[in-house]
Amino acid sequence: MAKDWYKLDNAAKIFPVIYSKHDTSSFRLSCVFYENIQFQYLQEALKEALKRFPTFCVKLKRGLFWYYFEHNYNEPIIQEEKSNIFHSVRLRENHGFMFSLNYYGKRLSIEIFHALSDGTGGMDFFKAICYYYLILTGKTIENHGEIKTNAVERLTIETEDDFLRNYDSSIQKYGKEPKAYRLKGKMYSNHWCGLIHLQMNVNELKQVAHQYQTTITQYVGACILYSIYQYHLPKHKRTKSVNLFIPVNARKFFDSMSVRNFVLYLRTHCDFNQSNLTFEDILNMVKETFKEELTKEKMQARIVSNVSLERNFFVRILPLFIKKICMKIGYKTLGEDMNTISYSNLGIIEIPKDMQEFIQRFEFSLGSCKKTPINVASVTYQDRFVLTFSSKLIDRKLIRGVVNKMVEDHLSIVVDTNDLEVES
Amino acid sequence: MKECPTCHIKVDTNRVTCPLCYSVLDEVTSHEVGQSYPKNESKKGRNIIEKCFILASILSFIGSMIGNWITYHHGMENFWSLIVALGILFGWVLAKYCILGNGILSNRIFSQTVLMVILLLCIEGFALNKHTFWWSTNYVIPLLWCGVLSSILLLTFIQKHIFVDSIMGLLIMSLLGFIPIVLHLTTSLIPLLWPSLTCACISITVLCTMLVFHFPECKSELQKRLHI
């Protein structure tokens, strides 16, 4: 039987505190089918998926010392997608559910509040919804464990806080990091978020990355940084560090099956205070960071930095309203100010072969906020790599810079957007 | 599918211009593109009825303030305009939060009751302070408290999850229900005994019912709320 309530995991604790209209702390997963969505099956599909993923069937409650999740007995509302992306997760609406399932034409999308899960856990849940939806529309699908359905046992370790499980007080905390240069420009009104999808062939991309003797994540990361260097960073601001925040799936480093948050990160601190930097120079900076930071020891140090504060007795006994003030200040100075831009690569999406004939592509995007107005995310499904920019800035120089570099490297790109400029 | 002659990318939307450089796109294939995102809707403002109510509220408040100021030195030396202001505020909270809001039902009732108590105290304390007998603290507040406590308790028997949502509220309301009797015993603010005693009795009944019928839920609720 599912638990009646859950403590928030270590990474989740910050999100209810910083949630606002400007920063909904959510991410979005979409699946584009070959046929139009038959919305009458979605409610039932979601109900089935929620049985398998009870940590998503919760509402946020306030305790005296911490927030917690309590089982939600209501039914979530499924709606046709609205134009304003990343604003469908409302903590006090949708019967208290912290995700929002929407459909539009052939696209089924879910926006998930980050306190519930990270991209990997969210994708497991979303794949289960898509699976049940297709089953309910009469499709026959043989699942060989790619999808966590109700037929696959639910394990207690899936709902555990793996940050606490892998905490080792003997390891030294991660050190301080420099403040980051912030992208600035005119923003869209009404908290609008522009989505720009760049679709390309993953094999072509792999080939290009191999030519540079690097991985896809490093290559794309370098393209983003190169574009910032070329088009966004004024010469007089080149003294500031440009920090690319890259979430890392910690399940790969620590034996974990969690469907909750278990994501760590690395930051590339690029010193652009040199003239005539080439793409290769920047790529080398990125490669160097990955080499140094992407180790189990460094990841463990990050866990220790995050968890040690939560385990401090004096922090624990502070009433929630005081904690909230401290956490907001801490996040503004130690979290938000450290990032120029984020890039998250969710990797390859694996689904049963029978499902593949009904699904064109998956998309993944990160919400952006005032301090990091552009964020980038990518996902690979079959031979298609979809890179999505979510931007609050009207200016698209940075995206053009990335596209120019990729086109220069002979990648053929198909662009799709949510087209605000046409209307305004 | 269209192509941008400047960026050398294909564009899979119905746009005429490139979404990156705004150059006019060339038509490459006649492949039909469905609109993949809904059109941008202009943000809906408040409706006309709500606007009328806002205007009426503002005008009533300003009017009563002016009236209060004019009549203050002509035999009405009290702040009666506060009653109007609080009445307006109460009306708005009642409409927007309690009736039209979508929060937990019991929480909405609790907060509305608390606001009502504040309103009553203000009416007596600030505006009608010449009266010696406090009718609200003697009659209205204890009896209102009794009504709210018993109705929430009845509601919780209908559905279990209403109870789970209301435990903390019921607990706090029950404890606050002892205030009138304490004030009766220790001060001269509440000379009348029976409404305060009834309120205390209802509070005890609610607390006992919670413990007898819902002990595991109460224990679990306290564990959740107080976990460190």
Q: Is A395 helix (H, G, I), strand (E, B) or coil?
A: coil
Return residues 205-224 of B near A (CB < 8 Å). Answer: 220, 224
Per the CB < 8 A criterion, the answer to whether A347 and A123 are in contact is no
Q: Is A29 helix (H, G, I), strand (E, B) or coil?
A: strand
Question: Could you count the other beta carbons within 10 Å of the beta carbon of residue A45?
Answer: 22
**Co-location of A224 and A324 in the same domain:** yes
Nearest CB partner across the interface for B11, out of A68, A81, A415: A415
**Co-location of A147 and A202 in the same domain:** no
- A173 located within any domain: no
**Co-location of A10 and A103 in the same domain:** yes
What is the predicted ipTM?
0.85
What was the pLDDT predicted at B152? 85
**Co-location of A207 and A129 in the same domain:** no
The pairing of strands A26-33 and A107-113 is: antiparallel
CATH number at residue A105: 3.30.559.10
Q: Cβ contact (<8 Å) for A403 and B37?
A: no
Per the CB < 8 A criterion, the answer to whether B179 and B116 are in contact is no
Domain that holds residue A87: 5-165
- A55 located within any domain: yes
The count of structural domains within chain A is: 2
**What's the average pLDDT block by block, 10 residues per block, for chain A (424 residues)?**
83 91 90 94 96 94 93 90 84 86 94 95 96 95 90 83 87 81 88 92 96 96 94 78 92 89 90 85 94 90 88 91 91 81 96 94 93 95 96 92 96 88 53
- A189 located within any domain: no
What was the pLDDT predicted at A424? 47
**Co-location of A133 and A221 in the same domain:** no
- A65 located within any domain: yes
Of the residues A165, A185, A205, the one at which a domain ends: A165
Q: Determine the residue type at A413.
A: I
Of the residues A126, A148, A165, the one at which a domain ends: A165
The pairing of strands A99-104 and A79-80 is: parallel
**Co-location of A266 and A315 in the same domain:** yes
- A76 located within any domain: yes
Of the residues A113, A146, A165, the one at which a domain ends: A165
Whole-prediction pTM value?
0.88
**Co-location of A128 and A242 in the same domain:** no
Q: Is B29 helix (H, G, I), strand (E, B) or coil?
A: coil
**Co-location of A112 and A224 in the same domain:** no
> Which residues of chain A are within 8 Å of residue B227 when distances are taken between CB atoms?
7, 63, 65-66, 68
H or E element that contains A322: helix A320-330
What was the pLDDT predicted at A135? 96
**Co-location of A236 and A381 in the same domain:** yes
CB distance from B103 to chain A under 8 Å?
Answer: yes
> Which residues of chain A are within 8 Å of residue B8 when distances are taken between CB atoms?
407
State the smallest CA–CA distance between residue A289 and chain B in angstroms. Answer: 30
Segments in chain B below pLDDT 70: 30-35, 41-45, 74-77, 126-133
CATH number at residue A213: 3.30.559.30
- A107 located within any domain: yes
How big is the CA angle at A26 (ends A20 and A30), to the nearest 5 degrees?
145
**Co-location of A140 and A48 in the same domain:** yes
Size of interface A-B (CB pairs under 8 A): 108
Of the candidates A164, A359, A159, A343, the one whose C-alpha atom is nearest the C-alpha of residue A267 is: A343
> Scanning every residue of chain A, which has its alpha carbon at the shortest distance from the alpha carbon of B16?
A422
- A178 located within any domain: no
Q: Which of A198, A418, A420, A421 to mutate against chain B (most B CBs within 10 Å)?
A: A418
- A184 located within any domain: no
**Co-location of A216 and A158 in the same domain:** no
**Co-location of A213 and A88 in the same domain:** no
Of the candidates A293, A308, A198, the one whose C-alpha atom is nearest the C-alpha of residue A245 is: A293
> Which residues of chain A are within 8 Å of residue B40 when distances are taken between CB atoms?
83, 192, 419-420, 423-424
